[in-house]
Every structure is written in structure tokens, then in C-alpha cells.
Amino acid sequence: MSVLTLALFIFTSQFMNLCHGAGIATYWGQHGDEGTLAAACSTGNYKYINIAFLTVFGSGRTPQLNLAGHCNPSDPGSCSWIGDDIAACQRQGIRVLLSLGGGLGTYSLSSPADAQQVADYLWDNFLGGNSNSRPFGNAVLDGIDFDIELGSGQNYDVLARALNRRSTAERKVYLSAAPQCPFPDAHLSDAINTGVFDYVWVQFYNNAPCQYANGNANQLISSWNTWTTVNAGQIFLGVPAAPGAASSGYIPPDDLKTQVLPNIRTSPKYGGVMLWSRFFDNEYSTAIKDSVNGGSRSRKSGSESGSGLHISIGGLPIIGNP
């Protein structure tokens, strides 16, 4: 391998890491006084937002959204304004996903056929399909997030594959998962092992064996290193955005920047930080944003701005898309 080729390889690897990582994700929808989705996006702090949650689905149930007073999903048209906010966020390069499950709800997948039926429902009502009952109107979400915390993990792998098959050259269906940090996750292990997930935001909180505690990040970092072995695109550090956001696992911003991020940013699969949640994020994302990006100024990749990023070195084109 020539020196030029080696240099180009190193540059390309580093460049693609920048395009693929360095972002903050959060969850919006579980507190009626957290502000609008558009307001969350306008902060400029987030790269991904999960709308939480679709709390009822599967096993013959009629799917139901729970958006904590933001709108009444059972009233046709009540949530259509969220569709306008979704479009506004996407124009800023922010990917918006619908999160399934959560810690409170009634959901399960009784069979592979049931999983396929739920996939069809999600496609028709939230993604690129057609339905007369789309809660967010004509807005097309970027993908689906799996925050499965109840019941068994059966058939979520089938659901993930079914959604992944809906991706086309024109529009990809992004898939994310929010497992608990004990490895492997009791509910999402089979799904994540399919290898079709783009983002895995691991919840490093409410779990003493694998979270930050009393100024010590060793258990968290050890668990992080295990999670980076999974077959997924990018891994995110999931943390509470305030002490009251979780029963344990809160990391003060300065400790996150000095004790944790320097030890995980070197991972090729590092994608950034996930914060629970928008309601609790009182300047936490602002405090950590530059450090999430490796201490540099915030970057926006070409694909985020909708144009694609094209660089040529010595006549060789390099195209970066997250």
C-alpha cells in the first residue's frame, strides 16, 4: 500500500466517522409542557428526535399513541400539527422517528404474522404508505425506534426485518433501539442481532451494574465496550438529562465531558449521546454538544442538509452519507 493510498484510507475513515457520528438524540412527547416538537428542533442541539410513544400495538390490539396531552390521538386531526413540526425538523436535517413501547403500555407480538401486520400498520400510518387515519397527516417519519421494556422479546426481530425491507434507494427506513445496559438486553437482543439497526441508544441508567455512580465511570465504560460489539451501525450513550429524569445514573455535564466521552469517542461505532428526555433537558444538551462532537464546533453533514457531501482528492471522489 503506497503512502498516498494509506493517507487517503485514513482520511476517508476519519471523514466518514465525522459524517456518521457526533450527534445528540432525545425523546419528545411524554410531557405536555415540554414545548412543541418544532421548538425542540429549533434549539439546534439535536440530530435525532424520537416521538414517544406508540404504547398499544400487536396481538390484535388497535394501535394507540400516547403523547401525554400534546394532542388527542383518538380525535381525528388533533395531532396533525405535529406533522407540520416533523416537516420543519426534517428541513433542518433532523431525523424524526416514532418510538414503540416505553415503560408503560400494552404491547406484544404474538407471531411472525402479527409482527408483519404491525409493520404494515406503521408503514401505512407513519412512514411511506397510505392510510385515511394517519395521525400526523402527510408527514413521513424517517423511521421507527424500538423501546421495548415490557413482555417478551419474541418477534421483534421479524418486525425489524419487515420494516427494513421497506427501505428503497429513494428513502431509507431508519431503525433504532433503546436497550437497557445489562448485556444482552432481555427484550431487544434478538432484534438487534438481525444487524438491521442503524442506531442503538443504550440506556446507561436505572441499572446499577453498568452506569455511572459516585464519580466513577468504570462500570459504564466496561459496559460500553461490550455494547460496541453488537452488529449495528452506531452506538449512543443514553443518559438522563437531569437528576430527576431517572432514579439513578445521572452524570453531571462536566463529568460526562472529562470522564466518559474521551473514553468512548474513539470507538468506530460511536454515534453520540441520547438524552432522556426533552422535558428534562434544561441546557444539558447545550453544555455537552461540542464535546459530543469531539470538542470541535458543531458540524452538519451534506446528507443532513439534503444535498449529499462530495469531496474529490486527486480526482478520486469521496461521497459521505450518514
CB 85 within 8 A of CB 41: yes
Cis peptide before 42 (omega within 30 of 0): no
Say how far apart CA 309 and CA 48 lie, in whole Å.
Answer: 19
pLDDT greater than 80 at residue 2: no
Report yes or no on 2 lying in a domain. no
pLDDT of 304: 37
Report yes or no on 47 lying in a domain. yes
Report yes or no on 5 lying in a domain. no
Cis peptide before 322 (omega within 30 of 0): no
Quick one: cell of 87?
A: 416537516
In degrees rounded to 5, what are phi and psi of residue 199?
A: -135, 135
Q: Which of 118, 304, 44, 229 is nearest to 127 (CA)?
A: 118
Run of H or E residues at 237:
strand 234-240
- What global pTM score does this model have? 0.86
Query: Model confidence at 316, in pLDDT bands (50, 70, 90)?
Result: very low
How many Cα atoms sit within 13 Å of 187 on the Cβ side?
20
Run of H or E residues at 201:
strand 199-203
Say how far apart CA 116 and CA 199 lie, in whole Å.
Answer: 22
Report yes or no on 1 lying in a domain. no
Mean pLDDT taken over the chain = 89
* 311-321 per-residue burial string, b: 16 or more CB within 10 A, e: under 16: eeeeeeeeebe
Query: Model confidence at 146, in pLDDT bands (50, 70, 90)?
Result: very high
Q: Output 239 or 320, whichever has higher pLDDT.
A: 239
Report yes or no on 7 lying in a domain. no
pLDDT greater than 50 at residue 11: no
Say how far apart CA 120 and CA 100 lie, in whole Å.
Answer: 14
CB 281 within 8 A of CB 31: no
Say how far apart CA 61 and CA 32 lie, in whole Å.
Answer: 25
Report yes or no on 175 lying in a domain. yes
Cis peptide before 53 (omega within 30 of 0): yes
pLDDT greater than 50 at residue 318: no
pLDDT greater than 50 at residue 35: yes
If DSSP codes are grouped into helix, strand and coil, which group holds residue 35?
Answer: coil
Radius of gyration of the chain (CA): 19
- Mean pLDDT, residues 42-53: 99
Report yes or no on 112 lying in a domain. yes
Does the annotation count 149 as an active-site position?
yes
- Mean pLDDT, residues 277-301: 82
CATH number at residue 188: 3.20.20.80
CA angle (11, 226, 232) in 5-degree steps: 60
How many Cα atoms sit within 13 Å of 108 on the Cβ side?
9
- Residues 149, 170, 283, 304: which is the catalytic one? 149
pLDDT of 22: 77
* Lowest mean pLDDT segment, chosen from 25-29, 206-210, 294-298: 294-298
Q: What is the domain extent for residue 100?
A: 12-320
Please name the residues in contact with 149: beta carbons below 8 A apart, sequence gap of 6 or more: 101, 102, 103, 180, 187
Cell 462530495 locates to 310
Q: Output 31 or 307, whichever has higher pLDDT.
A: 31
pLDDT greater than 90 at residue 32: yes
Report the number of distinct structural domains present in the chain.
Answer: 1
pLDDT of 295: 66
Report yes or no on 147 lying in a domain. yes
pLDDT of 299: 36
Quick one: cell of 58?
A: 400487536
Q: Give tens-digit pLDDT for 226-245.
A: 999 999 999 999 999 999 99
Query: Model confidence at 29, in pLDDT bands (50, 70, 90)?
Result: very high
